[in-house]
Every structure is written in structure tokens, then in C-alpha cells.
Structure 1
Amino acid sequence: MAGAPFITTLAVCMYTASFGYALHVASITALVRTVPGAILLLFLERLLKAEYLAFLDQP
């Protein structure tokens, strides 16, 4: 793991919280990790539509 043992990453924090049966903390941490990825996915979906990419292929 990068930065171990001095840096506590978000994944380690989530694992530690779920291991100690603090499931509400682990679920909130999972949502915090999911939301930026979903936003990036929606942004890239709009950016890379097939119609826009087909425009680049024309001579």
C-alpha cells in the first residue's frame, strides 16, 4: 500500500470501520468514494458521445 504505515487512506479507513462493526461509517465512506466516480462517468459520457466522435473521423 502506498504511504503505509504513516498515511491512512480512505480504503483503509473504510475497512477499519466495517471491521469494527461501525457499518454506518463504512457506508458513508463508500458513498463518498462513489459520488466523484459517478460524476466523472456522466461527464465523460456526454463528452464522448458517438455523434461527436464520428465528426472527428470525416476527412
Structure 2
Amino acid sequence: MAVLTFQVFAKTTLIDIEYNCVEVYQKETDNEWRVIHSTWSFIRPMDKKFDKGKTVV
């Protein structure tokens, strides 16, 4: 069994969308890896962490 997590940044001409993805793989008896679970969720703008950077006076 293996777990893969990644983020997808889809930039299109209509909309920019960002996703978190978690997929669980299982190695079958035929020696092939297959996805047994997959979860996709939006990255909400309020969940992002932005650097404060320099103080503007």
C-alpha cells in the first residue's frame, strides 16, 4: 500500500483553481498498482499562508 499526496494548480483562460489530492494505492496480485481511494478538495484562499514580507510605512 502507498499514499500519494500532491497539489494541482490549474491555470486556465477562464479560471484558476487549486486542489489538494490524496490517493491511496494498493499492489494487486498481478503486480500492478491500482488506486483504491482518491480524494480531491479545493484549496480555499483563506487557508493559504502568505508571507508578511516587509512592513510598508
**TM-score, length-scaled by structure 1:** 0.24
Q: Which one has a bigger Cα radius of gyration? A: 1
- Name whichever structure is richer in helix by fraction: 1
| Greater relative contact order (CA < 8 Å, ≥ 6 in sequence) | 2
- Name whichever structure is richer in strand by fraction: 2
**TM-score, length-scaled by structure 2:** 0.25
